[in-house]
Amino acid sequence: MYQPFNPTPRTLMGPGPSNVNPRVLTALARPTIGHLDPEFLRLMDEIKALLQGVFQTGNALTIPISAPGSAGMEACFVNLVSPGDKVIVCQNGVFGSRMAENVKRSGGQVILVEDPWGRAVDPEKLRKALHKHPDADIVAFVHAETSTGVKSDARQLCSLVREAGRLSIVDCVTSLIGCEVAVDDWGADVVYSGTQKCLSCAPGLSPLTMNERAVERIRNREKPISSWFLDLDLVMGYWAEGQARSYHHTAPVNALYGLHESLLIATEEGLQQSWARHHRNHLALRAGLEALGLALIVPENERLPQMNAVSIPTGVDEALVRRQLLQQFNLEIGAGLGALAGKIWRIGLMGYASRAENVLICVSALEAILSQHNANIHRGVAVDAVQAVYDAGQD
């Protein structure tokens, strides 16, 4: 006979979801009210304002899409790409590939700018592509490539796009709150994210922001947007601040309670403090992994502090190690994807999970499991290396 589902509590240190902050879990359990209730409409306005704060933007169109980050990605492409449009896509991992797939499914033509997995997008390659394809109106790239733990220089890439008179679409699913995201300062036109990473909220919402240049492109489309649900003209009729709301869909009321709470937490901590916390814990994790004899595959100046790609020791069954970490320590880390499948582990330090105790748990658990596998590691030094970083107060 079926019973209520009560999952085993896990320490989530993979590529997402991250552990949900207890305050957010409490918020999710608050009484459901109508999605057009005046109280809920006030909450929607607060969510928009709080999202503008964490995105660092004044864009009026700053809302959460009622679906996960992949839907936020799709919303950008189906609204902005019309059949026949040329779009430059910078691909250096799985999510750049998904951008290209979205362009194709929107009827656009992909111009691919490729970089090796584990490296940032090369601005010079983009510069050449912009010069070679003056009829490409849009450039899309991933700021924080979750599949590799790479951070590209969004400021420089957006500057190149803006100088060329094109429109930028930027994936910040894994970067928002974990490292600097400055939409207006970058000059980014369209940016989307997700709630399940550094915001430490439940999966299922995709914060998105667009400036007036992007909104004007949507308004001037000659052909209808292929997706009714993701048509931002319609969605904004529901989210329009201070105006009469038109019914579009039944918003995920309790999920939005959770997002509101997570944005309050982020605002209370402060963006600079959040970025510093993620970086400090990354330095501690790196010290512990290197003391074990493990290596990070991404060059130091291109690393995401909240997503660490770690080479697997020779002869180790990486899937078995992950399974044993889950079984023996209730600890989840991630596998490699695509070209890096079987070659790396992905260790996340996102949001609520980015804490000193989690770094210590992860390093000591890895040492224990790898010792069971007789891996060629250095034993008995990793925890001290982690603690030394915290003792030194490095940021």
- What integer pLDDT is reported at residue 393 of this predicted model? 81
Domains detected in the chain: 21-268 (3.40.640.10), 271-392 (3.90.1150.10)
Q: What percent of the chain has pLDDT over 70?
A: 99
Residues of the chain under the 50 pLDDT cut:
395
Q: Is 112 exposed, middle or buried (CB count within 10 Å of its CB: 0-12, 13-18, 19+)?
A: middle
Answer for the pair 175, 181: CB distance below 8 angstroms, yes or no: yes
Q: What is the pLDDT of residues 316-366, one digit of tens each?
A: 999 999 999 999 999 999 999 999 999 999 999 999 999 999 999 999 999
Task: Please measure the distance between the N-terminal and C-terminal CA atoms of the chain and give it in whole angstroms.
Answer: 52
- CA 328/CA 370 separation, integer angstroms: 13
Q: What is the pLDDT of residues 352-368, one digit of tens each?
A: 999 999 999 999 999 99
- What integer pLDDT is reported at residue 241 of this predicted model? 63
Residue 64 is encoded by which pair of tokens?
């959460």
Report field, pTM of the whole predicted structure over 0.85: yes
- What integer pLDDT is reported at residue 242 of this predicted model? 59
- CA 385/CA 395 separation, integer angstroms: 15
DSSP string computed for 94-161: HHHHHHHHHHHHTT-EEEEEE--TTS---HHHHHHHHHH-TTEEEEEEESEETTTTEE--HHHHHHHH
- What integer pLDDT is reported at residue 246 of this predicted model? 84
Q: Which of 217, 193, 231, 262 is nearest to 27 (CA)?
A: 262
